[in-house]
Structure 1
Amino acid sequence: MSERTHEMNVFLQEIKEKLKDEPKLYSLFETCFTNTLERTIRRYEDGTSFVITGDIPAMWLRDSAAQVRPYLYLAARDSELADMIEGLVKRQFSCILIDPYANAFNEKPDGSCWEKDFEDQDPGVWERKYEIDSLCYPIQLAYFLWKLTGRTAHFDETFRKGVNAILKVFRTEQYHEEKSSYHFTRHSLYSESLSRGGKGALVNDGCGLIWSGFRPSDDACDLGYLIPSNMFASVVLGYLSEIAREVLHDEELAKEAAAFSKEVHDAIEANAVASLQGFGRVYAYETDGFGQCRFMDDANVPSLLAQTYLGYEGDPEVTANTRRFLLSEANPYYYEGTAASGIGSPHTPTSYIWHIALAVQGMTETSKEEKYRILKLMAATDDNKGMMHEGFDKNDPSHYTREWFSWANAMYAEMVLNYLGYGLDV
């Protein structure tokens, strides 16, 4: 899908008028907003859509949902965009049925992969890193499409089977030690291998939290219970309950999903809140359920910084304290430099700030002045390339990772829309 629709052109003109005094912000917006449509989306005769992540030819469940998220703002008035998103949801749930533990998939079952990690890896799987968020994003996208357009065709039999597969994985991984056979070892990078022969660090089975092998950065978890991803799971299980009740007319599933959502929420509040000197009670990034915690944040979403962006309602005081910690140098991945300050990731070089994290920071700010400052900062750190990058040096934005990263472009576009007062009212 490479053609801009009439509705998109009208929308772009609308945004251009609103940003008439900010030509750089608009120029960057137009490029970032249309980039995913023009360069990453492939439509098929069966109505499905495949979305590559950018400079890698595979489709990540997480990235693909985030890449098309800005188009949700137009979906109610643009049937072609809505068709494309509907097709992506259908493709995502088909992929989940191939392997619910996989995070990224091939366009064709040709055996392409990042690395051959499993002898029996399905030829349709690009990478088999189990990440909670990979199973959350497709539900979120399906829910938003329904709420914003009224469409329900994507809630088909494949969706039902996919949801059952997701619930089975989540329930199994609440008892990772006892019930899960999942393991992952990659010898080329220590940051992408789980400890204990691929089983991962010992966790407290049955505490209510869901175990995750990997973070949304695709780096291995240190302590097993990744709190931002559990927050996301709690939210989307609530979405699933609403879908089950109002669309699928499955009261049993609705009650199960609602109870599961509350169970995870309660487990987060019971196991992931601890006192941190100088900040009070905060949410941990990871915990093992035994009391050991990791205090940090990573630029990739879901993150602790993205808590309100994801829709997780926690203790307001703990949420505020956590944000204050995350945007300070007490967070080991918060960097202050001469060009910018913001959150980076152990996935990229030290002192590299991510545009995705800046977008999340801006969209979760309450002050329009602060949103504007962050938006200008994002535009000033593109190294005049006209697109966002993955990470860039805090002192020199000409040093960056990933020339073309569609997810980051989508986040800039969404940040602009957020600043201008557009919202996903679901």
Structure 2
Amino acid sequence: MNLYSPDLANRVVATVVDRLGADAGDVFRRCFLDTLDRTIEVLTDGTAFVVTGDIPAMWLRDSTVQLTPYLHFLVEDEALADTAVAVSRRQLGFLLQDPYANAFNRAADGGGHQDDLTDMSPAIWERKYEIDSLAYPLQLAHDIWRLTGRTDHLGDFREAARTVVSVWRIEQEHESRSPYRFQRTTGPASDSLERNGLGRPTAVTGLTWSGFRPSDDACVHHYNVPGNMMAATVLGDIAELAESVFDDSELAASSRTLRAEVVDAVARHAVVSLPSGSEIYAYEIDGCGNALLTDDANTPSLLSMPLFGWCAADDPTYLATRAFVLSDANPTFFRGTAAEGIGSPHTPHGSIWPIALAVQGLTALDDSERRRVFDTLLSTHAGTGAMHESFDKDDPAVYTRPWFSWANAMFCELALELAGLRTHVRRPTDAETR
């Protein structure tokens, strides 16, 4: 199976070179082809397994975002569309294997964190429950359908969607209903959950609980706000597919009901007033009165709200939140001699993430900020021609993860935006409910 048409890839690269210059084009070429040539393997069942880069496992979140730059060209390239379909089919199958797992092995070979204290299996690499691990595969399935009209990847979609809605419902009442527990006996505290794996206390709010963030670090407060926002947008996707493809009014109704509950809960519980009078979204809350005001480089993040369709980029509460997370008031925002941007507790203090820089550029309202961020990415890859997980704010030659496909994909997405080739953009839906 050919994963893509070389002619299409060459045309895209040539356009980027022509519009952004040779230096930008060289980095784009490497990042754009890297995922296609090095991370995707078509298996005997016709599905495709996608490694994250230097870890030989498939993360549900990462494998979705790794495909993002190629969605713009699915209609032009049947082979590329076949590849996206193959990835989607495998993701949906993984959701049915275990909706509480975030990363899977190519086969049931016992790779990964088999010693974790949770309901582990040899097919699972890691079983950290994260809202976005359920949201991203359903988003991808919907995007493929919307862009191409294809339904041959949706064989497991309805069952997977029902499973996700059920889990998100259960996790609205995590303390009393959830079967999920997770502990890791080695590594930092952020790799494990407190109270014998149950996590810190939460009160029922209408939000759905998450054990871990998209960084795979434990939540401080277990209602991760951007994760809930993404869940709400994806519940809208489920309802649309349920009606348009499956004629399943029950699934559509249950999805919309849960979506309305989450949207309402975000408005009631996740908006915080600053001393300045501005209202912003918290990153995490617990329903007990505690709120964490920060952001994380990994998506979904507060900075990335417009990218997954929660709101428009000029929404007033988003703009206030954006100003906060891109300021010194945010404990994960760093300024150095080489760059400034958002990092994560997942990496050393003072490290900036290219993913967050790309998100900043993609959500900017003016081209000058977008271009400035892009130039920062071009000047901080330490001569490798690829994006890294993070780099030191003062010395880009000090970086983590030399091969990180998610970061490469986000660089490509920003390059495509600047080159005028980014055509698939998710829009906010049902804005009147917020």
Matches within 5 A, 1:129-168: 129-156=128-155, 158-168=156-166
Structure-1 separation of matches of 2:13 and 2:119? 47
Aligned to 2:307, the other structure's residue is in SS state: helix
| 1:123 Cα deviation after fit | 1.1
In 1, the alpha carbon distance for the partners of 2:405 and 2:425 equals 24
Cα–Cα, structure 1 residues 285 and 425, in superposed 2: closer, same or farther, change >3 Å? Answer: closer
Runs of 4+ that moved beyond 4 A: 1-4
By how many angstroms is 1:97 displaced? 1.1
Deviations 1:219-251 (A, max 9, x none): 000111000100000000011111111111111
SS in 1 for 2:273: strand
- Alignment match, 2:429: none
Work out the CA distance in 2 between the residues paired with 1:290 and 1:296.
18
Which segment is superposed worse, 305-314 or 218-227? Answer: 305-314
Indicate whether 1:259 and 2:257 are aligned. yes
Deviations 1:112-168 (A, max 9, x none): 113521475211100000000000000111111111111111121x22211111111
Q: Distance in 2 between matches of 1:124 and 1:397?
A: 36
Q: In structure 2, what is the Cα distance between the partners aligned to 1:102 and 1:166?
A: 12
Deviation at 1:302, TM superposition (A): 0.5
Matches within 5 A, 1:80-229: 80-118=79-117, 121-156=120-155, 158-188=156-186, 189-205=188-204, 207-229=205-227
Q: Aligned partners of 1:87 and 1:2: how far apart in 2?
A: 10
For each residue in 1:183-241, what CA deviation from the matched residue of structure 2 results, as whole angstroms up to 9, or x when unmatched?
11112121111111111111112x11000000000000011100010000000001111
Task: Give the TM-score taking structure 2 as reference length.
Answer: 0.94
Match of 2:10 in 1: 9
Q: Is the 8 A contact 1:107 1:124 kept in 2?
A: yes
Asked if 2 retains the 8 angstrom alpha-carbon contact of 1:2 and 1:39, the reply is no
Equivalent pairs counted in the alignment come to 422
> Which amino acid is 1:219 matched to?
D
- Does residue 363 (structure 1) correspond to residue 362 (structure 2)? The answer is yes
Query: Which is further off, 102-111 or 196-205?
Result: 196-205
- Counterpart contact for 2:118–2:182, Cα < 8 Å: no
Mapped contact 2:194–2:200 kept (Cα < 8 A): yes
What stretches of structure 1 of length at least 5 have no aligned partner?
none
SS state at 2:306 partner: helix
Q: Is the 8 A contact 1:139 1:236 kept in 2?
A: yes
Deviations 1:68-104 (A, max 9, x none): 1111011111011100110111000111111110000
* TM-score (normalizing by structure 1): 0.96
C-alpha separation in 2, matches of 1:240 and 1:374: 34
C-alpha distance 29-187 of structure 1, shift in aligned 2 (>3 A): same
Q: Distance in 2 between matches of 1:115 and 1:396?
A: 36
Q: How does 1:261-410 map to 2 (within 5 A)?
A: 261-278=259-276, 280-313=278-311, 316-410=315-409
CA distance in 2, matches of 1:51, 1:135: 16
Q: Secondary structure at the match of 2:357?
A: helix
Give the CA deviation at 1:280: 1.6
RMSD: 1.5
Listed one character per residue, the Cα deviations across residues 25-47 of structure 1 (whole Å, up to 9, x for unaligned) are 11101110110001000012322
One-letter amino acid of the counterpart of residue 52, structure 2 = T
| Identical aligned residues as a percent | 47
Displacement after TM superposition at 1:3 (Å) = 6.5
Deviates most, 63-72 or 188-197: 188-197
| Separation (CA, whole Å) in 2 of partners of 1:187 and 1:420 | 48
**1:317 Cα offset (Å):** 2.6
